[in-house]
Chains A and B, each alone.
Chain A
Amino acid sequence: MKISKKDVINTAELARLEFSDEQVEKFTSQLGNILEYIEDLNELDTKKIKPTSYGLEISTPLREDEVNQTITVEEALQNAPQSEDGFFVVPKVIED
């Protein structure tokens, strides 16, 4: 599968990234090379193989659903680029 400039631009939009024309050229070529490299996996017949998510079997541990204090609102906001009255502030989403 060859990746096109259009694919790169669409993927960037999904990933919330932006590239200049020059960078789109560079990424199209580099991503194309990487995707070409990983095509060697198609040599393997995996129709009957089950997928593995983790290197070892892991079962989901269960615990009581208890309320615990982790961090305070102040601590959660201490790294906020902009905050007000206990909230993170972002540009207005809904028009007046």
Chain B
Amino acid sequence: MTLPRTIKQASELIKSKEISPVELTKSFLEKIDSNDKKLNSFITVLHDKALESAKEAESQIVKGNYKGPLHGMPIGLKDIFVMKDVRATCGSKMLENFVSPYNATVTNKLLDAGVVILGKNNMDEFAMGSSNETSYFGTVKNPWDLERVPGGSSGGSASATAANLCIASLGTDTGGSIRQPGALCGIVGMKPTYGRVSRYGMIAFASSLDQAGPITKTVEDAAIILNVISGDDPLDSTSVDMPAPDYTKSLTGDIKGLKIGIPKEYFIDGMDKEVEQATNKAISHLESLGAEIIEISLPHTSYAVSTYYIIAPCEASSNLARYDGVRYTYRSPDVKTLNDLFVKSRTEGFGDEVKRRIMIGTYALSSGYYDAYYLKAQKVRTLIRKDFDDAFEKVDVIAAATSPETAFKIGEKTGDPIKMYLSDVLTIPCNIAGIPGISVPCGFSSNGLPIGLQILGKHFDEETILKVAHAYEQQNKWFEQNPEF
């Protein structure tokens, strides 16, 4: 059997009873068992639980209780989302044996919609990384070239989705962690507006930036998942009480008269020429579909990486203080005093990138430095946000490249943290401003690596970015090309 690749295809097969959820789930589990040794995209595979959910979905559908397009869909969850009675490692030795006693809100919402969770996807440790090389459970490979990274931090979700080891996956994006791996793996990755999706049960990295979102093959699939996961949650005080529309309704293919801003600052020095060409070609294509292309300026773009590398580590150093070896984490076996227990458990439980960020954050927040670093970064955050506010007075959406380069070689940047941090130079501003963004495939380089186009929108206007990404996608259909690995 050729496995369906999209939610749309698979749900039609299930609805018409051409395939049963149990058959579908079994086929995906077999594919994971025989292929994931090459990719390392799952940390935990839920063979028994997935089959149980598939059987339940099957009996519900037979009874006529079809819940909608996600019913019976085999998907992956980044290992940052907790699921009751399942291990949630967050890619860290610190949580290697942590079994969650509860479900994240998004886990509940997906299960209520009838999905089958195949397993937990590999990720950079505590979502800190742009290449999936910081995972305690090993590097994830890019299915387009096994010597290259899939991007990060949702690298396992992106690799597994691109290789069709799952129909789709749920990732998180703090500075580009959904969109950048989406671009590098040739699939769709969407970060909703901050507050659109509940963060309850999503292991915290930088709380003012973290947001969950879909990783899929098509824009329509992303809209289907967003329909289910978005909405206010009393368990997350930063989720926003605002009605969420049916996002699939905005996928009309008609973008005539829409104003698309092209920020000149997003064509940075040192950008891969082929990425630049593909981006320009995609922009011309949007124009040929009737959109009006307007050059804009986001003058503080070049300060976004610095702002991010103060705010995110500060929030992380505070969030990760909870991993103390006392209650639910790794505990060093060799301790005599309580302070020993804290120090040794943290020193042995965290990897180097996590330690680097805790150190930057602790230093920047320590006595005497708060104003110079954290407060300064929060003020620049105001300026970056204002850049977008001003731009959105003139345009409906903004289009640019997602990543300045295609997937890089494993090991290429691990020795130089700043080089790695600059991988996210085009995705970070969106998180700082809290706006929604999506990456959609826009072609391939001459050596066969995928390139992503990024569309950014106004706060809570996911509909327009989905509309634009969908219109482009349907004309070009890059998603019909699949990796062979």
A residues with a Cβ closer than 8 A to B are 1, 3, 7-8, 11-12, 14-19, 27, 30-31, 33-35, 37-42, 44, 46, 49-56, 58, 60-61, 63, 70-71, 75-76, 78-82, 88, 90-91, 93
- Residues of B contacting A38 with CB < 8 Å? 306, 309-310, 373
Shortest CB-to-CB span from A71 to chain B, Å, is: 5
- 28 CB-based A-B contacts, threshold 8 Å: A11-B359, A14-B362, A16-B342, A16-B343, A18-B347, A19-B347, A27-B355, A27-B356, A30-B356, A31-B359, A33-B417, A33-B418, A34-B360, A37-B309, A40-B303, A41-B376, A44-B303, A46-B376, A49-B380, A51-B382, A55-B208, A55-B432, A55-B435, A55-B459, A56-B195, A61-B234, A79-B327, A93-B338
Find the residue from B240, B325, B379 having the highest chain A CB count within 10 A.
Answer: B379
B contacts with A: majority SS: helix
Interface pair A31/B356, CB less than 8 Å apart: yes
Interface pair B341/A90, CB less than 8 Å apart: yes
- Residues of B contacting A71 with CB < 8 Å? 101-102
A39 vs B300: C-alpha distance when bound (angstroms): 14
Name the segment of B36-44, B129-137, B140-148, B328-336 touching the other chain: B328-336
Sorted from nearest, which 10 A-B pairs have the closest CB atoms? A55-B434, A51-B378, A81-B331, A79-B328, A75-B101, A46-B379, A38-B306, A15-B362, A52-B381, A49-B379
Shortest CB-to-CB span from A6 to chain B, Å, is: 12
Shortest CB-to-CB span from B182 to chain A, Å, is: 20
A14 vs B102: C-alpha distance when bound (angstroms): 32
Q: Number of B interface residues, CB 8 Å? A: 74
B residues with a Cβ closer than 8 A to A are 97-99, 101-102, 193-195, 208-209, 234, 237-238, 240-241, 300, 302-303, 305-307, 309-310, 317, 324-331, 335-344, 346-347, 350, 355-356, 358-360, 362-363, 366, 372-373, 375-383, 385, 417-418, 421, 431-435, 459
Shortest CB-to-CB span from A30 to chain B, Å, is: 6
Interface pair A15/B337, CB less than 8 Å apart: no
Shortest CB-to-CB span from B436 to chain A, Å, is: 10
A27 vs B373: C-alpha distance when bound (angstroms): 19
In the complex, which residue of chain A has the Cβ closest to the Cβ of B357? A34
Shortest CB-to-CB span from A68 to chain B, Å, is: 10
A16 vs B358: C-alpha distance when bound (angstroms): 10
* One of A15, A40, A61, A93 near B317 (C-beta < 8 A): A15
* One of A1, A18, A44, A53 near B378 (C-beta < 8 A): A53
Interface pair A44/B356, CB less than 8 Å apart: no
A46 vs B432: C-alpha distance when bound (angstroms): 17
Interface pair A1/B372, CB less than 8 Å apart: yes
Interface pair A17/B99, CB less than 8 Å apart: no
* One of A11, A50, A60, A88 near B327 (C-beta < 8 A): A88
* One of A3, A15, A41, A44 near B358 (C-beta < 8 A): A15
Find the residue from A31, A50, A61 having the highest chain B CB count within 10 A.
Answer: A61
- Residues of A contacting B238 with CB < 8 Å? 54, 58
